[in-house]
Amino acid sequence: MKLGQWLGLFCLIVVVIMLWQIRQTLLLVFAAVVLATALNSVVQRLLKTGMPRSRAVMITLGLSLLVGTLFVALIVPPFISQFLQLLELLPRGVQSVVTWVERQWTLLPSWIAEIELPSTANLAQELQPLAQNLIRNFFAFFSNSLTALLQLLLVVILTIMLLADPVSYRGALIVLFPSFYRRRADAILTRCEIALDNWLGGALLSSAGVATLSAIGLTVLQIDFVLAQALLAGLLNFIPNIGPLISLLFPLIVAFLDAPWKAIAVFILYFVIQQVEAYWLTPTLMAKQVSLLPALTLASQIFFATFFGFLGLLLALPLTVIAMTWIQEVLIRDVLDPWKRDSPKRGAEFSEELALLEFSTDAPDLPKLDETETQEEA
């Protein structure tokens, strides 16, 4: 390679290392982009009524503040109270489960009952380091509450700034692409915005449905702490595969304190809710979403959780939705679909495919982001 190519490769490696060092900050920026996209959909609906954008943004932010204030004032205090009581019941519930298993084990045939189970004391001794670690992390979380507050404040400020003038920030991002690809990049960003908006709206409605069904079922079964457990089921539904499993543990142990049959009923209840969510709610609410295979969803969660921690796990699905959109549009549609293996005129045919995909070799330096101007050009 020439000297210029070596310099370019070196600069690319340096940029990748720098981005890796600030990966947590980039995740916070992406979280702000997700929130801004959600709020921008409300702004767009207000703009269709002829309202100025500044007023539409203020109304959207005011409604968001009102909803957040009501949620914190009405829902958070009883949720925290019930959740703390739930945490106090968990050790007794685990002890009850262990005792019941030991009792049932003695009723099995002799050749099976002869197998020694670990005693409760040994089990408690083995679980003690894990419990200490959980308690240490719990207090560490509250000791770092100032950091969490600053991160939340950063996300809120970035969201407001992006929502106030999204066209300018979008134009600054599109300039980073080559001039011949800027119009196409603008179209891909539009597709990403639609996919992200569809996913977020569907996920909110799906989580609300899961929380409502959980509250109704737990009330019918007369399980304690309905509000806390239903809200946990709805919130953890944002994390597919892993979240529903975690949300099941709390009502399962609490129900076991009343009667073993209630624990079985809770298990059946949550299983039915997940089937309804997977085969009816999600397909109905997310019909226009980028389809993600279950194995791909789980793999993306493991990947982002491994490299980016809990925030990566929380944002794994929107990150995967954006990545899949870019892969489908750039790699598959722009590169692989026009590829002609046995044609000597592959270059000309590829150019024709690019023209069909709204490429323009004489595109201006900045893309035309105004829809009315684009329609006039057409």
Say what the alpha-carbon torsion angle 292, 298, 303, 309 is, to the nearest 10 degrees: 110
Structural domain tally of the chain? 1
Domain of residue 209, residue span: 21-103+144-377
Do the domain assignments include residue 70? yes
**pLDDT band at residue 59 using 50, 70 and 90 as cut-offs:** very high
- Is the pLDDT higher at 318 or at 344? 318
Residue 131 domain-assigned (yes or no) = no
Determine what percent of the chain is predicted with pLDDT higher than 70.
75
pLDDT band at 268 (very low <50, low <70, confident <90, very high): very high
**Cα separation of 93 and 262, whole Å?**
13
pLDDT of residue 367 exceeding 90, the answer is no
Q: 238-265 b/e with 16+ CB inside 10 Å = b? A: bbbeebbeebbebbbbbbbbeeeebbeb
Separation between Cα atoms, residue 367 and residue 179, nearest integer Å:
9
CA–CA dist 231, 75 (Å, integer): 9
Q: What is the CA radius of gyration of the chain?
A: 26
Alpha carbon 277 to chain centroid, angstroms: 16
CA distance 266 to 254: 10
Query: Using 50, 70 and 90 to split pLDDT, how confident is the model at 62?
Result: very high
Of the candidates 369, 377, 364, which has an alpha carbon nearest to the alpha carbon of residue 178?
A: 364
What pLDDT band is residue 289 in, cutting at 50, 70 and 90?
low
> Measuring CA to CA, which residue among 84, 96, 82 is closest to residue 257?
96
320: left (phi over 0), alpha (psi -120 to 50) or beta: alpha
The band of 30, judged by pLDDT with boundaries at 50, 70 and 90, is very high
Return the higher-pLDDT residue of 127 and 154: 154
Name residue, tokens 């409300």.
Answer: 42
**Residue 110: per-residue pLDDT:** 59
Which three-class secondary structure string do you get for 39-95?
HHHHHHHHHCCCCCHHHHHHHHHHHHHHHHHHHHHHCHHHHHHHHHHHHHHHHHHHH
The reported pLDDT for the residue numbered 257 is: 83
Furthest-apart CA atoms within the chain: distance in Å: 85
The closest alpha carbon to 255, from 303, 214, 195, 287, belongs to: 214
- pLDDT of 244 reads 86
Q: Using CA atoms, how far apart are residues 304 and 291, in angstroms rounded to an integer?
A: 19
Q: Is a pLDDT exceeding 60 seen at residue 36? A: yes
Contacts of 320 (CB under 8 A, 6+ apart): 292, 296, 297, 300
Whole-Å CA distances, 337 to 239, 354, 359: 33, 11, 15
pLDDT bracket for residue 314 (50, 70, 90): confident
Is the residue at 363 inside a domain? yes
**Residue 123 within any structural domain of the chain:** no
Which of 302, 327, 336, 333 has the alpha carbon at shortest distance from 317?
A: 302
Judge contact between 250 and 86, C-beta under 8 A: yes
Mean pLDDT of 3-22: 82
Rounded to the nearest 5 degrees, what angle is found at the Cα of 205, between the Cα atoms of 204 and 207? 65
Q: Is 14 among the domain residues?
A: no
**In the predicted model, is pLDDT for residue 176 greater than 60?**
yes
pLDDT at residue 232 greater than cutoff 70: yes
Give the other-Cβ count within 10 Å of 304's Cβ: 21
Mean pLDDT estimate for the chain = 78
Which H or E run contains 353?
helix 346-356
User: For residue 191, what are its two tokens?
Assistant: 């597709």
Is 364 a residue whose pLDDT tops 50? no
Lowest mean pLDDT among 6-20, 152-166, 200-214: 6-20
* Beta-carbon contacts of residue 148 (< 8 Å; ≥ 6 apart): 141
Is 10 a domain residue? no
Note whether 183 and 358 are within 8 A (CB). Answer: yes
Helix, coil or strand: residue 259? coil
Residue 122 placed within a domain: no
- Average pLDDT estimate for 338-350: 56
What's the rounded Cα separation, in Å, for the pair 282 and 299? 20
| pLDDT tens sequence across 234-251 | 988 888 778 888 888 888
Higher pLDDT residue, 281 or 287? Answer: 281
For residue 89, what pLDDT is reported? 79
As a whole number of angstroms, the distance between CA 292 and CA 282 comes to: 12
Rounded average pLDDT over 92-113: 68
Q: Return the structure tokens found at 337.
A: 């679909």
| 105-136 pLDDT per residue, tens | 666 665 555 555 555 555 555 555 555 555 45
pLDDT of residue 147: 74
pLDDT band at 372 (very low <50, low <70, confident <90, very high): very low
pLDDT range class, residue 93, cuts 50, 70, 90 = confident
Would you say residue 302 lies in a domain? Answer: yes
